[in-house]
Amino acid sequence: MTLALDKPRAPRRPSARRSNFELASWLFMRISGLALIVLVLGHLLIMNILDGGVHRINFAFVAGRWSSPFWQFWDLSMLWLAEIHGGNGLRTVINDYARKDATRFWLKIMLYVSMVLILALGSYVIFTFDATIPTTN
């Protein structure tokens, strides 16, 4: 490995040929973590403690909530932030613990596929939920 200084008289080496991905992912973990504290604790509080708790949750309750854009936005951001936050965390765990490159590659493929499936399915349900479907019971 050579350590010669390239272009010693140049004022600065051209920057931005390296990626900021790791920085962005580190920053995302902090910001999404803060947001998730509010979103998840608020969600748990509303669902489980206020107004009779978990027993009042049924089809009509969910239908009522998702008819409001506010709750649609709340649940959608919770879904995306939690999934990407958790997925990114698992990515770093895989990077830290996988011993072989092949293991690392396939574990990450599994992770990314599962993330895409869950995000797509979850977003699909939130956006297309139809409260007019007659309940069976």
Instruction: Indicate the residue type of 1.
Output: M
DSSP for 59-99, please give it.
Answer: HHHHHHHHTSHHHHHHHHHHHHHHHHHHHHHHHHHHHHH--
CB closer to another protein out of 58 and 103: 103
- The minimum distance between CB 63 and another protein, in angstroms, equals 43
CB closer to another protein out of 15 and 136: 15
CB closer to another protein out of 10 and 54: 10
- The minimum distance between CB 80 and another protein, in angstroms, equals 22
For residue 45 the two structure tokens come to: 């509080």
Residue for token pair 């649609």: 72
Residues that bind another protein (CB under 8 A): 1, 3, 5, 8-13, 15, 18-23, 25-27, 92, 95-97, 99-100
Q: Which distant-in-sequence residues (6+ apart) come within 8 Å of 66 by Cβ?
A: 72, 75, 126, 129, 131
- The minimum distance between CB 38 and another protein, in angstroms, equals 23
CB closer to another protein out of 1 and 50: 1
- The minimum distance between CB 39 and another protein, in angstroms, equals 24
Burial degree of 13 (CB within 10 A; 0-12, 13-18, 19+): exposed
